[in-house]
Amino acid sequence: MGFVENLVLVFVAGFVTALATGLGAIPFFFFDSISDRGNVVLWGLSSGIMVSASVFGLIEEGLAEGGPAEILAGMAVGVVLVVVAHNVITNAEVDPREYGEADFKKLLLILGVLTVHSFPEGVAVGVSFADLNLGTGPQFLGFTIPVLAIFMTVAISIHNVPEGTAISIPLRAMGVSEWKMVWWAVFSSLPQPVGAVIAFAFVRLARDFLPLGFGFAAGAMIYLVLTEFIPEALEHGEGLPNGGKLELLGGVAIGVSIMLPLAFI
């Protein structure tokens, strides 16, 4: 197989992982309204999923490729990204149409950070295809696919489903329709096939930057949870007993319990 055909296969693998994110919005097709208590739990669920994905997924993968200093440097840059993006979006003139302006700016920030976070995962997919057509692994459509590439594509696809749910929760709270939630969930992962192709084409260089990339994504996501998701949950819980803190902790615990088993896949 030629180089172009190889790139197409890697792109398709990355696109499969992106499509899996859209599955996370499917539960929202089955209920219409959400109470304040339910909203607090869902924001907590989203927070638990994102922090777990950062700690047990991105940071763990980064440490497997590099040292703590690289991860911490990447995380610091990720935090700066969220701060700068927040300031830019807050001061930007936007047309929110049917959404409140504040909600629309929060939506832009959340989607922006989650879209950026998916790029390193795509890079990981591309790197896993480094030994494509070198004679080891199963045959598929004339390609000899490395076992690591199959594992990485499946693992990231599975991880992306609850991340799609995490993305859909704030969208649901803002009144976004179900199919739009599916679209935005998939959109947030579209950098994955792009990152996969770039990483496969420059696999040696991409592998060197993986620790920074994973740390960058983790820092951005954790900071977003602390500064946007949890305050939003507590705002919804103001009228509940204990300010909704028990519901928030319960949602976080559920999110962590969902993601913990995926750390061993």
Q: Quick one: how far is CA 178 from the chain centroid?
A: 19
| 243 inside domain | yes
| 176 inside domain | yes
| 30 inside domain | no
| 29 inside domain | no
Instruction: Name the range with the highest mean pLDDT among 27-36, 150-159, 220-229.
Output: 220-229
| Residue span of the structural domain in which 111 resides | 3-24+35-264
| 51 inside domain | yes
Going by pLDDT thresholds of 50, 70 and 90, the confidence category of residue 89 is low
Number of domains in the chain: 1
| 227 inside domain | yes
- Give the model's pLDDT for residue 12: 93
**Helix H segments across the chain?**
3-22, 36-52, 60-65, 68-91, 101-128, 147-173, 178-188, 191-201, 203-224, 230-236, 245-259
- Give the model's pLDDT for residue 36: 78
